[in-house]
Each structure stands twice: as structure tokens, then as C-alpha cells.
Structure 1
């Protein structure tokens, strides 16, 4: 709608059936006809022609205001949020002044100097309105400034201007679109309001606001003209808001998709293969995976990332999924909980938990299984914990969700204390009162494990639980996993690329390469009798300390 009306306004000399100022006093206030598609006004001027020509100063004014609004709002917000320090203080003080000044009064003062100047009025409106956008951008930029990719860019030697343009600005685009298009609707209302008052476009030149003013004078005589001119303004204002919402959603989808492309669904035929019934395992395993494949839809077509794998996890066993990054081990673990992204799906085979099939279940049924039957320990504790809530409130939410502490608030508090104690955290009451940023990495990892244990699961999936921890804390987490296994008898799937962790913790393991299982067996077999060259290469590449002829090598 916006594009169509804007194009018609640009092509007004070609589309307008009559000159906008030509009067036909013999046909005033006539209704739509073959000669005048939208009728005529009080002076017999063609309404359609005046709408087309009147859109020019209106949309030019809106465009100027939006450009100033976006430029100053984005520039001031990014400079304040990224540079911080005195730059931030000066810009914030200036924004406070801009927000406190009545922009309408300033605009009227500008019009008193630049009489009936549409450009001056809209530039003034855009500049003062940009203060609100700058505050939004500043808040977002403050958060982006602390991201690891910004630190990496800074370490690489990139300057502030390059980082802001290359790494921060693209991530602010989605947040910019909605305010810009909402402001476009507001700018249109302001511009037409000034035209209604005769302050923007001098008569008899047509403008949408001026046409509303002319129609208002004869509203009692003929209300039709008010509906025509006001309808176009209302339609454009509504369309601006809808465009902002639509572009925001498209931007979010593009950022989440691989390679910046929109996600595509996995082919239906592949999903039908996964839905085929398979034989229930009868070996007493707590978790069994049979002929399991996972496919992702990409711009180049479906891509199988896990191909026909199978393994069994027994009760009370620590089972390792080993492989380099990209081998498919993490996506296998996430698929067991139904946590694949929208463009990924299990396309063949099945997974069984305690004799019940869990692959292919609808989301509602998976919600009952997650946490209660099978749980996940995330690789990054800060990803699993909300920084705005205390540890106790987040643990309490999981406890109430899984129903493991029937009773009132005191029962939930006691359960929180019990879980934090079970993961060897001293002073659990103090930990429960703290926010995630107040705890160390090792303590956060223990909190995440406690959260996973809240539902007393049969299987615990630990995805690289020690990657970001130092050696001593890592050893403590591994000891904790072994203790939990011994005390609770639950099975643990340990996803890792660290063979030292596997050797120290696991009972059995599988080695994955490019979505395939290349080796499976006990830890002794894998380390001392490896059969596959990839396994031997992993072992050889594992750092070790050996004493040779009095030297450490």
C-alpha cells in the first residue's frame, strides 16, 4: 500500500487526469464520474489529481523527518552506548534537553522564521524526536558492547568506528525498523496537521493536510471529501505501522537463520520416514537410539548432519559422546529433548527413554518429559540462567513446574536448599539470594546441574559442562557428576571433545566423525585398543605430560 501510493504520487504528472489547480465552477462538489474518478471539490478541481499532487510535499516532508530521525537517533545512540565515558555523559545530557523541550513550540517558532517551509518544519520535528530513538539504541548498544564478538574484534585491532559500523550497526537494524516506521506515521500526522492549519504548504498548492482543512469547512454540506482525504492519511499511517512490524519479524528470522538466509522446512518425505514405527528395544536400556538421522534444511537443499547412528545407555552409566566440533554430538543430544531449531528434524530412526518412544512426540508431550525424565546441563551456564532473577527464584520455578515439592513456599525453599546442597554449594541460602552475575563460573555450573536435577531425571545430558572452567574447578564438576550417578543411579550422557574428561569420567563412549559413529566401546577399548584411524588421531592430538630423560615434554 505504501509503495503503491508513493509510486502514484511520484508519477502524478502521468497519472493525474487533470491539472491540480484547474477549476470547473460548473461542476463543483460533484460525485465520482468518468471524467472525475473521485469527484470534484468546492471549486470544481479534480480530487484525484489533487490527491496525487498533494502527496508530493506530504511524503517529502515525512521522508526528510524520518531521515533526520534515523540518522541522529542511531548516531547519537551508538556513540553514547559504545564510547561510554564523557561522550556518553554529554550525549545523554543533550538528549535530556531535547526531550524536555516542547518540539511543537520549537517547530512553530521555526515556521515563524521560515514561513510555510515544509522542509524546515519536518527537519525540526525529526531532530527533536530522534532523542527517544537515541535512548533505545544506546541501551541496546550498551549490551552489545559487552558481547564476546565485540571483545574479539577489539583484540583484533579494529577501531571503534569499524566495530560500530561492521559489528554493532547490523545487529541494531531490527530494533531501528519499528521505531522508524512508527515515527513515519506520527510524522505524517504532524505534517498533515501543519497543512490543515495552513502552516506548511502555501495555498492553493495541494497537500493532504490542506485538503482535509478545505473538506472540514464544508463538512456539513458534503462530508464525502473529508472521508477521501482523511482516508488516504489514515491508510498510510496504518500501513507504516504494519510495515515496521513485518520488517522486524523478517529481520529476526534472517539473523537466526544459518548464513543469513531464511529457514526452510525439512522435506515432508523425510519427516514421514521418522514417523514410521520402529521396534521397541528390549535390552533394558534407560535410553536407546536406533538408526537415528538428523537433517537440516539449507539454501542448498537438505543436509544430513547425523546419519543412521545408534547407541544404548544403561542405568547408572556415564556414557560419552566424543568428537571434534561439528561432528554432530551436540545436535544429537539436543534432538533427544526436542530442541532442534525450526529448520532441523529427526528424519529417520527412533529414540526410546525407559521403554517409551520420545522421538517424534508433539511439543506438549515433550514438555512433560523435559526436566522430569530427561534433563540438560548447558555448556554456558549464563545462557541457561536469567540475569534478572535470583538463583532461588529460578530454581523455584523449575521445582513448581516439575511438581517435585508438593506444598507451599516453605516446601519449595526446602527443596531449593536440598538441591543446592546436593551439588556441594556451601551456604545454599546465600546462593539462592544471589543473582547469576554474583557467582563464579564453577558455582554457576553447579547451579545449572541443580536445576537439571530438580525433576529427578532418569537421564542427564551434560553438554561440555567443563569447557569454560579451570582445571581444579573442572575436576570438582566431574567428581560431582560421578557422585550424583552413584547416589541417584541415573544415567549421564557426557558430550565432550576432551578425551581426558572421557578417560577420567565415562564408562563407555562412542566416537563421532561428520555425523557417523566410527568407534564404540568401553573406555579401555577406545584408549588402549582403538580400531579407527580417526580415534587414534584424536588420542594422539590430546595434550599430555610425560617425563622423558628427566625432562617434561
Structure 2
């Protein structure tokens, strides 16, 4: 998203529109009010001394007969200018204090850090009064007092931001290259912390207005014949029982200007947040969802039984260099009551595929597909309300770590009951009754008592059972289990897998099981999808996994599974090399650099996912279809594992 697009989107929001309107009102008043109403504000009229509001003087007149409203409008320029000057002083002084420890030797930087820590502990207005006494009464003294009173907060902010940037690799590289500390500060640190400082400075301008009004009200700020809102407020307060409008006018002006600066800061933060790293890199448009001629087609299934249909799914995320697509062209289908396992190394796109199917990819992530249908409803074109209702009642997610999936401050039963109350309109009592029943159905002992306990009172296996029970609170047609047994011991792992199998048998729900463990998937599922570098490289029946796998990567995954009768003195088997990064997929087959059967064509063209038998698809130029090739691949893997 470009800077112009970001700002235009924010400005069109209610917050942005209000902030812009108020800021323009204050700015235009500060510029033109002295020109338009300057003479009226200074005109003394003894015949109209201390009059109340009237058609000629909306806020009345002061003790010299001058129009109070005109003086409030004219005072906008001085009030705003003084506040801005104080903020500039505070930002400059705070930045110098905050960055000094990174430039000066440690023995000189520590006292500065200690001084900032002590100064931050004092209230800003108290510091302003302290500095006002030091610098003296008057406009100059007030500007310096408020500016230096704001410096500690900017110093602390600068220290925090600088510390975060100082740990980056490019700072270490500059230090190794011999770049001086001052140059690192100017060229590398300050440009990366500029935007947060500007946003906070905008918000601080509203506080500076209030501080100036307070000092002038106490007689320490602007002195006659000059006047600002604080001085006008003090004069109006002396006659508040005779003419309340004289005090109300400058007070309202201070509030409006303060809101303008604070809302402007919030708007700037919303527009600039997360954009610093890519503000100079315009991102290309994401490819449209039109189907590709060479896109792998999902397995053919009966349309009435299809629960999830994925056709040419792509998931993309923006980076400074452009869009990165870690899931690229995934196609498959799941039928009612079917169990499909998805296996692959970390970073292969398994979880992203599942999250995309559940519409859990948040912006700026982008989902693109020729078709993405759940229970016959398109998840790409249907209204959000209809999709939320469908997914809330027919889709269940079982995550890898149930401790982070449950709210630690709420009881298990209430969290389960919320699902039924939200999507089925059940009463609180009925929903809690169903929650206890669902906990019983997943074999949680003493379910009625357990429902009133907190997540930390459950063991890992019990939390995973409760997570499955939450999915069963409605009537799911698909259960997506993303690494549901990774953090569990072998015994509990078996119980959870048996529980999922029982749920599938009892409810006829389809299961999409994501796992690193290909052995678990082979024992639990009917079909296996093998993913590598964001693509499905093989789709085959689980019964044929050990004997009929044809892709070298699938074979390698099977070979690295440890066995009980393996030689303990021999090194563990492993797949040589590492998977490519999502933003650095090589041309051709992504597994070519790690494959012992790779040839020139593998590094030039990416193979399509083509039929290799009944219910079997494979994407490989050299599928392993005989024992000789399989033995050669295994020999290469074992050779890579021998220590040198």
C-alpha cells in the first residue's frame, strides 16, 4: 500500500476526517484571525465595558470594552506558535539526551541515562513550574520551561527506539566496517526512529497548549500587552459570575486545539504504522484470481459430498521488495467423513493453507484462488456475515498450542458456551449444559467440575481435549487440526488421535490433519498431501504411502522417520540441505538442490501435479517408480549424514 493510499484511507475514516477538520480550523484561524479581527480585538470602547453576550459581541467585552471573541480568535496564533516552539525544543533536547549514551563513552552516558530516569518520574507540569522559576516570568521563559519539561519523555522514547534499532544486523555491519558512532546515529538510527518521534511530537503539542494555558493563567506565561488563551481565561475567570462566556470562550478554544493536535497524532500513527520499512517500495498489484491453464486441479469428488474445495490457492504477503507468495497454486478437495493429512517441513505452507481455508489470513495478507468453497459456499465472494455464520457453525479449528488458544482469565466452560451462544442463540444455561456434555464426549473426567476451572488447571492433553470439545459445540462438517499432538507425550498423542477418529466416526465430519510426523498421518488419514515450498508435490492414498510414494521428497520424509530397531551407533538420517525461503523460490523444481535424482530440466521447469495412478498425483520430472532409483536416493541421503 502506497503512502498516498494509506493517508487517503485514514482521512476518509471518522477519526481522520474529524482530525483533519479540527486541525484545518485551528490552522486557518491562526493564520487569518489577526488579519481579519486584529483591529477589533485591540479597539478600546469605554462605553461597552464588561458587557455580557449580545449580537454585537457574542462573548461579551472585557474591562476595556474589547470584544472577547475577537481576542480569543486572535490569540490562536500566539498560543499555537508558542506550543509548537516548545515541542520543537522538547524534541531536540530529548533526542540529544536520548541518543547521547549511544555516542558518548559508557562512563559519560550512564549519568545521562540516570538523569533521564529521574526526570521522567516527575510530572510534566511540576517540571514546567520548576523551569519557569529558573528561566523567569514571560513568554521566553515559558517556552523554555515547557520545552525542557517535555524533553525527558522524548529522551526516554528515543532511548527505547534507539536500543531496538541498535540490535539490528545492519548496525552491527556498520560497526564492523568501522563507521563512527556519530555517523551510525545520523545515517542509520535517526532515520529509523523519525516517524514515531514526529507522531509523538504531534500529540505532545496538545499537552503543550494546556501547559501554556496553565502558566499564563497563573501569571507566569505571556505578559501584557500580549495575550494568549491562558491569559484570557484568567481575565474571564475574574468576572465569571458576571459573564461566564468570557471564561468559556478561551476554555473551548484550548479544548478544540488540544483535540486537533491529539487526533492528528492518532491519525498519523494509523497512517504511518507498519509503513516505515516499505515507504519507498511501491508494491505491485496482486495477481487476479483468474484460473491458470496449467493450474493443478483438485481431486475429483462427488459434488454433493464436497466439504472443502480448494482450486489454485495462493496466499501472499507484502514485503519491502514486493509481494511474497509462500502458498502458490494449491489444489485439493475434502469429502464428507474423509480424513486428509498434510505433511511437510516447516515453512512448506501447511498452516497457511489451513488458515486461508478458515478465512484467518488477516490484512495485509492476501488470499487468491480460482475457487475456495466451503460447504458449497464461496469464501471469496460471499458476504462476510454469511461466511462468519457458516464457518462459526460448520468449521472447527484445533490449534497446536491450546494454552494460547484459550483465554487464561476465563473458565473453560464459559469459553465453550460462548461458541453456542454466539452462533446458535442459546441461553447461558443451555450453552453451559452443552459445554459439559461436549467435555464428557471427549472423555474429560468430572466434566461438570472441570467446566468451572481455568485453562492453567488443565494438563496439556486435557486442554487439547477441551479444544476439540469447543469445536464440537456446534455441528462441524470440517475439523482442521493444526499440529494437535506436537506438544504432547506419546500416550496422550495416541489418545487425542483416537479421539479425533471417534469424533469423525460419530459426526461424519471431515478432518484436515496437519503434521510434521508423516507416520502419524499415515496411521490416521485416508489420503496424504505432501507439501514443499508452498506447493503440493504429491497426493496419494495413505495405504500406498510406504510402498507407492513416487516423489523423492516423500521418500525422504519416510526414510528419516526413526525406527525402534535402528542402529543406535549410526547417525540419525536427515534430508540434506534446507528448504528455500518463501521469497527465494528457485526456478524449476524447488526440491532440485536437495534431490539426488535432479537433472537439468528440474532446475529449469517446475513440474505439474499430474496423475500417477488411481487417486495418486505427483509433481516430479523423475518419479521414483522402481526400487533401483529408490535405493540410489537413499544411498545419497545416507552419504550426506556421514560425519566428515
Pairwise same-fold verdict (TM > 0.5):
yes
1:465 equivalent in structure 2: 484
1:384 and 2:405 correspond? yes
Does the 8 Å contact 1:263/1:298 carry over to 2? no
**Distance in 2 separating the partners of 1:65 and 1:450:** 56
Residue equivalent to 1:333 = 354
Q: Is the CA contact (8 Å cut-off) linking 2:316 and 2:367 kept in structure 1?
A: no
CA contact (8 A) 2:89 2:148 kept: no
- How far 1:228 sits from its partner (Å)? 11
Residues 405-460 of structure 1: CA deviation (Å, up to 9, x unaligned)? x5661x32321111111222222123211222332322222211111111121111
Offset from partner CA, 1:512-546 (integer Å, 9 cap, x none):
12232211111232222211112122223334433
- Aligned residue for 1:291? 311
Structure 1 residue 316 displacement after superposition = 2.6
Paired residue for 1:61, among 80, 86, 105? Answer: 86
- Distance in 2, matches of 1:496 and 1:393, equals 30
Give the Cα–Cα distance (whole angstroms) in 2 for the partners of residues 374 and 352 of structure 1: 13
**For the Cα contact (< 8 Å) 2:281–2:322, is it kept in 1?**
no
Structure 1 length normalisation: TM-score? 0.66
1:482, 1:505 within 8 Å by CA — same for their partners in 2? Answer: yes
In structure 1, what is the equivalent of residue 219 of structure 2?
Answer: 198
**Structure 1 residues 259 and 467, CA gap change in structure 2 (3 angstroms):** farther
Decide whether aligned partners of structure 1 residues 105 and 295 sit closer, same or farther in structure 2, where only a CA change above 3 A counts: closer
Instruction: Identify the residue that residue 538 of structure 2 maps to in structure 1.
Output: 519
Aligned residue number for residue 540 of structure 1: 559
Report if the CA contact (8 A) 2:336-2:509 is conserved. Answer: yes
Pairing 1:188–2:206 present: no
Contact 1:266–1:344 under 8 Å retained in 2: no
Shift of 1:486: 2.4
**Quick one: distance in 2 between partners of 1:480 and 1:415?**
18
Q: CA deviation at 1:462?
A: 0.6
> Is 2:131–2:149's contact at 8 Å kept on the other side of the alignment?
no
Distance 1:427 1:279, change over 3 A: closer
Would the aligned equivalents of 2:338 and 2:510 in 1 still touch at CA under 8 Å? yes
Q: Is the 8 A contact 2:316 2:327 kept in 1?
A: no
Give the C-alpha shift of residue 264 in structure 1: 7.0
Deviation at 1:391, TM superposition (A): 0.9
Matched pairs, number: 473
What RMSD in Å do the two structures reach over aligned CA positions?
5.7
Query: Which residue is 2:288 aligned to?
Result: 270
Deviation per CA, 1:307-329: give whole Å up to 9, x if none. Answer: 44332323333210122223222
SS at match of 1:370: helix
Q: Secondary structure at the match of 1:396?
A: helix
CA deviations 1:218-247 (Å, max 9, x no partner) are 99xxxx999998897555422221123224
Q: Does residue 335 of structure 2 align to residue 306 of structure 1?
A: no
Paired position in structure 2 for 1:148: none
Q: For 2:513, what is the secondary structure of its paired residue? A: strand
1:173–1:373: structure 2 CA closer, same or farther, 3 Å change rule? farther
The 5 Å alignment of 1:14-25 reads none
Which residue matches 1:505? 524
- Cα pair distance change 1:434/1:54, threshold 3 Å: closer
Residue 414 (structure 1) aligns with = 433
Q: Structure 2 CA distance, aligned partners of 1:96 and 1:62?
A: 16
Shift of 1:63: 5.0
- Quote the offset at 1:505 in angstroms: 1.6
Cα distance per residue 1:254-306 (max 9 Å; x no partner): 59xx9899997964x714669xxx99963553324253222425254454443
Q: Is this contact kept in 1: 2:316–2:325, CA < 8 A?
A: yes
Distance 1:531 1:387 in 2: 46
**SS of structure 2 residue aligned to 1:372:** helix
Instruction: Quickly say closer, same or farther: Cα 1:515–1:62, change in 2 above 3 A.
Output: closer
Counting only pairs closer than 5 Å after superposition, residues 147-166 of structure 1 correspond to structure 2 as none
The alignment partner of 1:366 has SS state of helix
Cα deviation, 1:150-205, whole Å, max 9, x if unaligned, reads: xxxxxxxxxxxxxxxxxxxxxx9999998875554233112123224431245556
Q: Which residue does 2:146 correspond to in 1? A: 122
Asked if residue 319 in structure 1 is aligned to residue 340 in structure 2, the reply is: yes
CA drift at 1:479 = 2.0
Cα pair 1:463 1:495 within 8 Å, conserved: yes
Aligned to 1:426: 445
Partner secondary structure for residue 400 of structure 2: coil
The answer to whether 1:245 aligns with 2:270 is: no
Contact 1:295 1:304 in 2 (8 A): yes
| Aligned pairs for 1:87-126 within 5 A | 111=132, 115-116=136-137, 117-118=141-142, 121-122=145-146, 126=150
Query: How far off its partner does 1:333 sit?
Result: 1.5
Contact 2:379 2:387 in 1 (8 A): yes
Q: Secondary structure at the match of 2:370?
A: strand
Q: 1:354: how far off? A: 4.3
Aligned equivalent of 1:147: none
Instruction: Note closer, same or farther for the CA distance 1:65–1:297 as it changes in structure 2 (3 Å cut).
Output: closer
Structure 1: state its 5+ residue gaps: 31-40, 74-93, 135-171
Q: Is the 8 A contact 1:306 1:328 kept in 2?
A: yes
Task: Name the CA shift for 1:431/1:3 in 2 (closer, same or farther; >3 Å).
Answer: same
The separation in 2 between residues aligned to 1:249 and 1:424, in whole angstroms, is 47
Aligned match of 1:146: none
Is the 8 Å Cα contact of residues 294 and 344 (structure 1) preserved in structure 2? Answer: no
Q: SS at 1:310's partner residue? A: strand
The equivalent of 1:441 in structure 2 is 460
For 1:399, the equivalent position in structure 2 comes to 420
Answer yes or no: is 1:369 the counterpart of 2:369.
Answer: no
